[in-house]
Amino acid sequence: MLVTIGSLGWFARSFTRVMDKREIIETFDDVVALFPKTVQDIEQRAEAACKLAEKEVRDIVSSSPSHRTFANTFGALDDTMARFKKVLKAISMLEMVSIDEEIRASAHNANIRLTNFGLDCFLHNAELYAVCKDYSDKVRRDSLHDEEIFYLDKIIKDFEYAGLHLSPEHQAKITELKKALTPLEVEFEANINSDQGCLIVERAELSGLDDAFIAGLARTDDGSYILKTDYPIFIPIMENCTVESTRRGLWKLFVNRAYPRNSIVLRQIIELRNECARLLGFQSYAHFNLDDLMAKNPETVDHFLDNIIVRSLPKVKQEFDLLTSNLPDGVSLTEDGKIRPWDNAFIKEMYKKKHLAVDERHIAEYFPLEHTLEQLLSIYEQFMGISFKSLPASGLWHEEVKALAVYNKTDTELLGYILLDLFPRPHKYKHACEIDIVKAGRIEGVRYPAVAVVLTNFPRALDGQPSLLQRSFVTTFFHEFGHALHEILGATRFSELAGTSVKLDFVEMPSQMLEEWLWDEEILIKVSKHYITNESLPHDIIERIRALKYFDIGDWLQRQAFLAKLSLYYFKQPSKKSLCDMYQELYQEIRTHVVFEHDDHFEASFSHLVNYGAGYYSYLWSKVYASDAFSVIKPAGLLNSVMGGRYVDEILSKGGSVPPQLLLRNFLGRDANSDAFFADVGLSN
């Protein structure tokens, strides 16, 4: 039985629409036109966006109280913010992807300017708050659509989270602090992306790596090899290089990206955020950050994480005993019996090769990029009832960017565009992410297509060999593309509630759920095709892959819980301790089987600390719901379009317009629980 709470009467009343404020993206030329091409273009667009937003907000504020409607207050505000953010996001993304130094610098400055302008213009604007609050207090709620009520309450709350219900002095101080934060937050990411650290090694120091990998490395003039910290280099070296000094050298570079600069920046961010939170009446930034999320407060999250840490301990111990009683040649433990951090991945990989007959580099030969992506897309097509068209993409920020148009199943309605920028470049964003440039919408049957960008760092094709994806890259693609589809399939009235604009501790749910597809035999057969023999993965290798699900799950859970605790710890209380000392303290408390190295400054490149704040726990928290939803989908079949359609309708299309607990209840037909999660990670009681 399906219980539909919250959706009753959902479409009983029609929306009021402000058509002239939300342009519709129709052609691919419209997508290309979103991104400025020159420094002058960036500056002009930034200027024009500010002027327009200022005028539109003035129109909202100056409407006479007797003529105020939902459409000309909250409706107009959403449309105006959507228009402004579209420009802001397109410009700020250029800093993450452009190969032109001047464009990056201009985008950096414009990002800061636009962000701070947006504070004054929208949610820190006392006049606008007064108008919205007045309307909100007087409106008859039964005259509004459910989504309109939800939106109205959210915006009033957002104004109050900006301090607009406090005294003018408090408001001014909070706005000042937020403005001081903006350049620091932008700089934190820029410092990571511009880190150019590299290790120079000789051929003998690359022992354990295959010839094709070595042939693809950049060389110095005298023929030495250049190792950068990009994932396509870092991961194979950490897993396969038999020379300890190479692993250690590259690991040290990796955990010191943007150090020491970002340690100073992060410290300032933490202090300013805490000060801001205290002015708003919260004990700390973590308390403020979590107040509106599913978890509500740091205490609940601490309890959640402690439970995972305790329950995963026996598994961690079991994995440690197994791996350390079979150490590969040349690897030893520290004097007090711990694993060195640069040995952790290597020990696992060598064990997998020797005892489980699994070689990830060999398995990657079954995942040539082009075929794999094509098949992954066809899984989404079947399950979600959509269709992709590949487009010749030109006129974007780099010639390697690929473009897809997404349609409904019958190709009669354009749902949006997804741009894929897949390979590493100097100064490009280092991790994997999805960025929404234009939010989707559906207003009175009119479709507003979304535009989403996926950034990854996959290995390039080598001489005589296509780009081959290790399984972790395949999972990354499926995960990030899942975020993009969350955007594309959004069908809310309000841009601020569309797609991935859900609670932070729910946002990883759809993508982490999709990761489960890649443990399924039928799916693995479908996706894989050896780049030479054209064969799919044979049954015996698939069985060995599937057996890996629990191979190092204890270590994975513990590391995720550690990072989540770290993000809470940094933001939970003001501390005189240095960030390094706090990192070390928590590391030694939780990661008891891996030694802490004094030059480990991973916090300096842990970009979630800025983007997610105290909310890194979102991954484990969302995974609980991902496992629960998957447990309902799995029996129906992973390519079952009826189930997929229901998932799209009940979860993805609603975005943040319904509280996550209700979305889940509507989809599951019951309240969500953690049984499937603990079973999925092998920790059932």
Binding site for Zn ion (CB under 5 A): 508, 511
> What is the nearest approach in angstroms of Zn ion to the Cβ of residue 511?
5
User: Cα separations (Å) of 667 from 105, 479, 672?
Assistant: 45, 21, 10
Specify the residue, 251 or 477, whose C-beta has the smaller distance to Zn ion: 477
- Strand, coil or helix: what is 372? helix
Q: Which residues, 6+ apart, have CB-to-CB distance to 89 below 8 Å?
A: 435, 436, 437
| Residue count of the chain | 685
Q: Which residues contact 260 (CB under 8 A, 6 or more apart)?
A: 601, 604
SS3 405: strand
CB 619 to Zn ion: min, Å: 8
Residue placing its CB nearer to Zn ion in the complex, 206 or 469:
469
Q: How far is Cα 60 from Cα 72, in angstroms, rounded to an integer?
A: 6
- Given the complex with Zn ion, which of 608 and 634 has the nearer CB atom? 608
* CA atoms within 13 Å, Cβ hemisphere of 111: 23
> Smallest gap, in angstroms, from Cβ of residue 257 to Zn ion?
20
DSSP H helical ranges for 98-243: 101-121, 126-138, 146-161, 168-193, 211-215, 231-240
Q: How far is the CB of 508 from Zn ion (least distance, A)?
A: 5
CA–CA distance, 177 with 269 (Å, rounded to integer): 10
How far CA 17 is from CA of 75, 435, 501, 675, in Å, comes to 7, 26, 20, 43
Determine the Cα–Cα distance for residues 552 and 549; give it in Å rounded to an integer.
8
Residue 292 in contact with residue 282, Cβ under 8 Å? no
* Smallest distance, Zn ion to C-beta of residue 350, A: 30
Q: Taking the complex as a whole, how short is the minimal distance between the CB of residue 489 and Zn ion, in angstroms?
A: 16
* Shortest CB 487 distance to Zn ion, Å: 12
Q: Which of residues 106 and 511 has its CB atom nearest to Zn ion in the complex?
A: 511
Cβ contact 232:151 at 8 Å: no
Q: Which is nearer to Zn ion, 483 or 601 (CB)?
A: 483
Nearer to Zn ion, 366 or 481 (CB): 481
Q: What is the 3-state secondary structure (H, E, C) of 579-630?
A: HHHHHHHHHHHHCCCECCCCCCCHHHHCCHHHHCCCHHHHHHHHHHHHHHHH
Shortest Å distance, C-beta 572 to Zn ion: 23
Cα separation of the two ends of the chain? 28
CB of 483 to Zn ion, least distance (A): 6
CB of 365 to Zn ion, least distance (A): 27
Q: Which residues pair with 226 in a beta bridge?
A: 200, 218
For residue 248 the two structure tokens come to 């250690």
> Whose structure tokens read 């989540």?
564
Closest residue to Zn ion in the complex (CB): 511
Nearest to 343 by CA among 269, 482, 237, 437: 237
Would you call the peptide bond into 260 cis, given omega within 30 degrees of 0 as the criterion?
A: yes
Q: Whole-number minimum distance, CB 437 to Zn ion, in Å?
A: 17
Q: Which residue has the tokens 């129906």?
A: 636
Q: Give how far Cα 525 sits from Cα of 179, 468, 489, 538, 651, Å.
A: 52, 16, 27, 8, 28
For residue 465, the cross-strand partners are: 462
CA atoms within 13 A on the CB side of 90: 25
- Which residue number, 352 or 439, has a Cβ lying nearer to Zn ion? 439
Amino acid at 19: M
Shortest Å distance, C-beta 622 to Zn ion:
9
Q: Is the CB of residue 476 less than 8 Å from the CB of residue 441?
A: no
Q: How far is the CB of 672 from Zn ion (least distance, A)?
A: 19
* Cα radius of gyration (the chain): 25
Choice between 511 and 567, CB closer to Zn ion: 511
Helix (H, G, I), strand (E, B), or coil: what is residue 462? strand
